[in-house]
Chain A
């Protein structure tokens, strides 16, 4: 007997999976609309990715290969524990390589490598409602979505410009999906927003505490909100990754000492390792230690 016998496959009971699956199908049919669902208690606290975990559990099959990332990294706490969870309750194959994965659960990054047809990207979402910080009442935000009344969001972006001279929103940057719903892309850096546009992969979003599921089908328009005279721009980095030398990737700043020393490294660890394996080297990469072995 294995431990598996004590749980249903992928932890959730079948009725819960059916409920989540029905919500996913409606979410795909109405791109960007937040479908309410009966979120369950999971064996982890709200805020640790219970929405993403429930979505993954509902779609996961024995033939899937799962990758889990947390801020782009495969080896941080949230990623490691969710990956171990699904290994335990679904006995599913896992990987850190983006291109080998069929399902990628993510907390706040989109992999640098272009996703391909047939892959599913599952986002963990804390606050699914893009209008929530502008209008706290659910009844009102629901009406605003119903009437496609998104002026308030543009006012918010305008106030950014009036105060700071540019749109200061750098993450959870609002997008319009398929020309209709304004959607929160979860707190991904706005650097990743262009990757959502016409993506070949299906994108599913799960918010456990807020009990919402939404989706963006493949080949769907995802446009970041902006103004004609203040067009949407992504972050730019002055230097390449210190380990792999990559330009045009999202970098994390790592403080090295208390004398102002710092380095910038790829947030996507798999992408960085893959580049280093192919011989790319950044300024601070330690020389290969073949001699030591």
Chain B
């Protein structure tokens, strides 16, 4: 397929109900950080965007939300695909992005350039959707914080070592900070800024 037809294919077949079901998973995932969710839909997103990341883009993005793409994604048909299906403007300025999508292996070296919100408006921060190698396998991490009864354990394969430090720095900025959704293929889990992470 050429990149043009790739951009025009896919999407939700039932936009109203499918976006609602993906949103409910996102809402429950944010409310219970670390819960592994599986998107049971094929949205026909172009490589290298994952299925869950594609569904999240279709669910949350529109003309009001500017989207930043990592290098690998912006050079693919993903930019046009998101543009066609959601109407979201693709921007290069990280600080103005409502959502940022990152392909596997390209986890940013810092969250500082993304919007962290202000002390008055901490909600005006970027939500990062980061693709990793695998969820449910790999190094174990312990999560604590609001939404978690005692502790929650997750396994994430493909996060760079620096992520733990980035996340601790992000947590220290509270109430400012980014929120992260980790995706791997059709699976995702949410890490709101309130969650504390520790390697087991």
Identify the A interface with B (CB < 8 A): 8-9, 14-15, 17-19, 21-31, 33, 35-36, 58-62, 118, 142-143, 145-147, 178, 180-181, 202, 215, 217-221
- Cβ 8 A contact of A26, one of B16, B23, B28, B179: B179
Could you give 22 example pairs across A and B, Cβ below 8 Å? A9-B16, A9-B17, A14-B16, A14-B19, A15-B62, A18-B60, A21-B60, A22-B60, A25-B179, A28-B147, A28-B192, A29-B179, A30-B122, A36-B121, A61-B17, A61-B21, A118-B28, A142-B120, A217-B30, A217-B32, A217-B146, A219-B149
Q: How far is the CB of A237 from chain B (nearest CB, A)?
A: 32
Report which residue of B15, B19, B65, B147 has the largest number of chain A beta carbons within 10 angstroms of its beta carbon: B147
Q: How far is the CB of B56 from chain A (nearest CB, A)?
A: 10
- In the bound assembly, the distance between CA atoms of A98 and B83 in angstroms comes to 43
B194 and A146 contact, CB distance less than 8 A: no
B16 and A217 contact, CB distance less than 8 A: no
- In the bound assembly, the distance between CA atoms of A219 and B121 in angstroms comes to 25
A178 and B146 contact, CB distance less than 8 A: yes
B123 and A30 contact, CB distance less than 8 A: yes
- In the bound assembly, the distance between CA atoms of A110 and B21 in angstroms comes to 26
Interface size on B, residues (CB 8 A): 39
Whether A29 touches B15, Cβ cut-off 8 Å, given contacts A59-B27, A61-B21, A219-B147, is no
Whether A62 touches B59, Cβ cut-off 8 Å, given contacts A22-B65, A29-B179, is no
- In the bound assembly, the distance between CA atoms of A180 and B193 in angstroms comes to 13
What is the 8 Å Cβ interface bit string for chain B, positions 79-113, against chain A (1 contact, 0 not)? 00000000000000000001000000000000000
Q: How far is the CB of A61 from chain B (nearest CB, A)?
A: 5
Q: How far is the CB of A33 from chain B (nearest CB, A)?
A: 6
List the A side residues contacting B19 at CB < 8 Å: 14, 17-18
A14 and B15 contact, CB distance less than 8 A: yes
B64 close to A (CB within 8 Å): yes
Whether A202 touches B120, Cβ cut-off 8 Å, given contacts A14-B15, A29-B193, is no
Q: How far is the CB of A202 from chain B (nearest CB, A)?
A: 5
B64 and A59 contact, CB distance less than 8 A: no
List the A side residues contacting B15 at CB < 8 Å: 14
Interface set, chain B 120-149, CB cutoff 8 A to A? 120-123, 125, 127, 146-149
Q: How far is the CB of A212 from chain B (nearest CB, A)?
A: 11
A218 and B32 contact, CB distance less than 8 A: yes
Whether A28 touches B30, Cβ cut-off 8 Å, given contacts A33-B175, A59-B23, is yes
- In the bound assembly, the distance between CA atoms of A147 and B21 in angstroms comes to 37
- In the bound assembly, the distance between CA atoms of A187 and B15 in angstroms comes to 37
B120 and A25 contact, CB distance less than 8 A: no
Q: How far is the CB of B30 from chain A (nearest CB, A)?
A: 4
- In the bound assembly, the distance between CA atoms of A146 and B31 in angstroms comes to 23
Q: Write the chain A residue with the least CB distance to B32.
A: A218
B20 close to A (CB within 8 Å): yes
Q: Write the chain B residue with the least CB distance to A142.
A: B120
Q: How far is the CB of A95 from chain B (nearest CB, A)?
A: 19
List the B side residues contacting A118 at CB < 8 Å: 28
B20 and A61 contact, CB distance less than 8 A: yes
B174 and A25 contact, CB distance less than 8 A: no
List the A side residues contacting B65 at CB < 8 Å: 22
Q: Which 9 A-B pairs have the closest CB atoms?
A: A29-B192, A217-B147, A146-B119, A26-B123, A220-B146, A28-B30, A202-B31, A217-B31, A35-B123
List the B side residues contacting A215 at CB < 8 Å: 31
B52 close to A (CB within 8 Å): no
- Cβ 8 A contact of B127, one of A25, A30, A142, A220: A25
B184 close to A (CB within 8 Å): no
What is the 8 Å Cβ interface bit string for chain B, positions 50-61, against chain A (1 contact, 0 not)? 000000000111
Report which residue of B24, B26, B118 has the largest number of chain A beta carbons within 10 angstroms of its beta carbon: B24
List the B side residues contacting A62 at CB < 8 Å: 17
- In the bound assembly, the distance between CA atoms of A189 and B193 in angstroms comes to 31
- In the bound assembly, the distance between CA atoms of A266 and B186 in angstroms comes to 47
- Cβ 8 A contact of B59, one of A9, A18, A26, A143: A18
Q: How far is the CB of B131 from chain A (nearest CB, A)?
A: 19
- In the bound assembly, the distance between CA atoms of A219 and B20 in angstroms comes to 24
Q: How far is the CB of A223 from chain B (nearest CB, A)?
A: 13
Whether A18 touches B62, Cβ cut-off 8 Å, given contacts A8-B16, A25-B26, is yes
* Extra contacts besides A17-B19, A33-B122, A59-B20 (19): CB < 8 Å: A8-B16, A9-B16, A18-B59, A18-B61, A21-B59, A22-B60, A25-B27, A26-B125, A26-B179, A29-B194, A30-B122, A30-B175, A30-B194, A36-B121, A58-B23, A61-B17, A146-B120, A180-B175, A220-B146
